[in-house]
Amino acid sequence: MKKVISMFLIVLVVASLFSAVKIGVILPMTGGISAFGRMVWEGIQIAHEEKPSVLGEKIELVLLDTRSEKTEAANAAARAIDKEKVLAIIGEVASAHSLAIAPLAEENKVPMISPASTNPLVTQGRKFVSRVCFIDPFQGAAMAVFAYKNLGVKRVVVFTDVEQDYSVGLTNFFINKFTALGGQVKRVYFKSGDQDFSAQLSVAMAFNPDAIYVTGYYPEIALIARQARQLGFTGYILAGDGADAPELIEIGGEAVEGLLFTTHYHPKAASNPVAQKFVEVYREKYGKDPAALNALGYDAYMVLLDAIERAGSFDTEKIAEEIRKTRNFEGATGIINIDENGNAIKSVVVNVVKNGAFDFEAVINPSDIE
Amino acid sequence: MVFFLQNLFNGIMLGGLYALIAIGYTMVYGILRLINFAHGDVMMMGVYFAFYAATLLSLSPFFSAIVAILGAALLGFLIDRIAYKPLRNAPRISALITAIGVSFFLESLAVVIFGAIPKSFLNVFRDRTILNKVLIVAGARIPLLTFLVIFITAAILVILFFIVYKTKIGMAMRAISMDIPTTALMGVNVDAVIGFTFALGSALAAASGIMWAMRFPNVHPYMGFMPGLKAFIAAVFGGIGSIPGAVLGGVLLGLIEIFLAAYFPSFMGYRDAFAFIVLIIILLVKPSGLLGKKITEKV
């Protein structure tokens, strides 16, 4: 018996010598919004190749799939924390999924960085959860200002995905700002995974809007755009960063031409050396231009590593603190400052679909929204 | 008025698609008393077959559809042979659970083979005018596809009735639906007939899947789940086992969904719930469905 125990201990000791630092990557790799998961994963892999170790330890990435579902997201987080014993978590994309993960990260004191969850509730009241993207109050207000002032839009129908916290948040912040500016709004509702929007669109068309603003994710945005154009809608189609995947154009076809959406990034806006290098490396590796989520995945990993280095240890409480002390960090999406609530303060980029590709349209800075 | 008319046509469009899928459900149930929960996933496989026939083999959309229909028919036949045939004499619940297993198997298989990233069915068509064509009737805008769905559903019904009522294999199918052991004693190759039924039902699934993907071109491995569930509800609604019932149930379900969402906008995010409420009501009020026959238990 003693032999067995001592053998076991030896195995443990040897294993710990070879063990690497584990970082859990929790993303939607299959299911409705899997394109987002894949894009973030590409960005993280580029970052990992550039910096494969921290504080002298090799980093092992543990990728867990959420199947684009809230419950699976929570399961994946539990597995990452209990079974894989990860040091930190990068994920998720969708706010609703990040909200399912965040309480687990907070309880177990595991630092978490979301690359792209923009709903304010994700980090609210938490110490261990941060993000490298702006939040929806800003994104929604930016679209309201852009639509009202730049496009001259006065009547908007807002499509809300009742299943997505991201969508509900974005809708509310957009409406607050847009009605304050003097615009008129009608709300209609749908659910992730819906494919037929004809009932919603017939209600929307009866309002005679200048624009429709779809606050969901790309599969639904593409289908709504198609069905809206078939119903003869000729006004603007607007969206949030949930539109930012090449699949939007694949599925939407001609119908999404001219679609405008707020997002985090465009390669043309890449100004600092880190951003330019990222564009180069990405092009070489994947043979196309990077999108926002590629760059945000890269940034999430790099900000985390930077915080670990500044913390100088694998003490998770210290790392979480250091993440929120990130100032003037040069990332692929530009300069990142993370405030005391864990939110990144950044400009919004407006992109447009032109000739079947994403093109740069405008930048809206925090000062433009006052 | 235009609002009503527009939603009427939207409802018929959606209902027609449900009906097309529901016919396959009801046929297999009529013969085997098996609810083939994998039907929606066979539909998904059919869509992928068409997608790859068009993109990899660069066949025209018409021939891609033929390939998809034949492929799905073969798939249906194999599913029956591998998954259901060994359980022919087992309790019905075993076959039902197996059907759910086959459904998950097909979904996972599709993730592995075709990948989880949504694909665009638009790539199947070089000329997309047929997809984007819209007719204007009294102010309502109706996609040409609506008429195509109605026409194809009607054509399929005619073919089905011909097969079921005018051919020898149809007679065998009807006999099996009444009594399997006795039919076997009459010298009918029961397994061959059941295999044929599965192939036919799966071919229908592929045909309806292609129609579905023309309207909703977002193709991914889980795309068959919701339409399959809705078609199942439509089949129960109309009276499971009855082919005209499936069509009626499908069209009514589509209309109910669209009109409830259009006239009660605050509930439109919960449209799927309407379908399930319809299912619950029909099970409570008329369990055999609108056109279903009352089945007396044989003692």
In which element (H, E) is residue A189 found?
strand A184-190
Gyration radius of chain B over CA positions: 19
First to last CA, chain B: 55
Contacts of A191 in chain B (CB under 8 A): 269-272
Is the separation of the CB atoms in A323 and A113 below 8 Å?
yes
Of A31, A195, A199, the CB nearest to B268: A199
Helix residue spans in chain A (DSSP H): 2-18, 34-50, 70-78, 95-107, 136-145, 165-181, 198-206, 218-230, 247-252, 273-286, 292-311, 316-323
What is the sign, positive or negative, of the torsion defined by CA atoms of A159, A164, A170, A171?
positive
Q: How much is the pLDDT for B287?
A: 84
Say whether A355 sits in a helix, a strand or coil: coil
Nearest CA in chain A to B112: A30
Tally: H helices and E strands in chain A: 12, 15
Q: Is B222 on the interface with A (CB under 8 A)?
A: yes
Q: How much is the pLDDT for B177?
A: 85
Q: Quick one: DSSP state of residue B298? A: P
Prediction ipTM score = 0.87
Task: Tell me the count of A-B CB pairs closer than 8 A.
Answer: 109
Rounded distance, CA A105 to CA A342, Å? 14
3-class DSSP string for A7-31: HHHHHHHHHHHHCCEEEEEEECCCC
Nearest CA in chain B to A229: B132
Q: How much is the pLDDT for B291?
A: 83
Rounded distance, CA B214 to CA B132, Å? 10
Is B128 within 8 Å of A254 when comparing Cβ atoms? yes
Q: What is the pTM of this model?
A: 0.85
Token pair 């026939």 is found at B53
Contacts of A219 in chain B (CB under 8 A): 118, 218
- Mutation target vs B (from A33, A38, A198; most B CBs, 10 A cutoff): A198
Gyration radius of chain A over CA positions: 21
Nearest CA in chain A to B262: A199
Contacts of B14 in chain A (CB under 8 A): 196, 198
Is the separation of the CB atoms in A93 and A293 below 8 Å?
yes
Mean pLDDT by runs of 10 across the 370 residues of chain A is 65 59 93 89 95 92 92 94 94 93 94 93 93 92 94 95 91 95 94 90 92 94 94 93 90 93 86 89 91 93 94 92 92 89 90 92 82
Helix axes A218-230, A198-206, angle to 10 degrees: 60
| Distance in Å, alpha carbon of A253 to nearest chain B alpha carbon | 7
Rounded distance, CA B78 to CA B35, Å? 17
- Mutation target vs A (from B135, B218, B274; most A CBs, 10 A cutoff): B218
Q: How much is the pLDDT for A345?
A: 87
Q: Is B125 on the interface with A (CB under 8 A)?
A: no
Contacts of B262 in chain A (CB under 8 A): 199, 202-203
Helix residue spans in A244-291 (DSSP H): 247-252, 273-286
Rounded distance, CA B270 to CA A279, Å? 42
Instruction: Single out the residue of B287, B284, B246, B299 nearest to residue B30, CA to CA.
Output: B246
Rounded distance, CA B76 to CA B42, Å? 7
Of A35, A162, A198, the CB nearest to B118: A35
Of A161, A199, A229, the CB nearest to B262: A199
Segments in chain B below pLDDT 70: 294-299
Q: Is B262 on the interface with A (CB under 8 A)?
A: yes
Question: In angstroms, how far is CA A220 from the centroid of its own chain?
Answer: 17
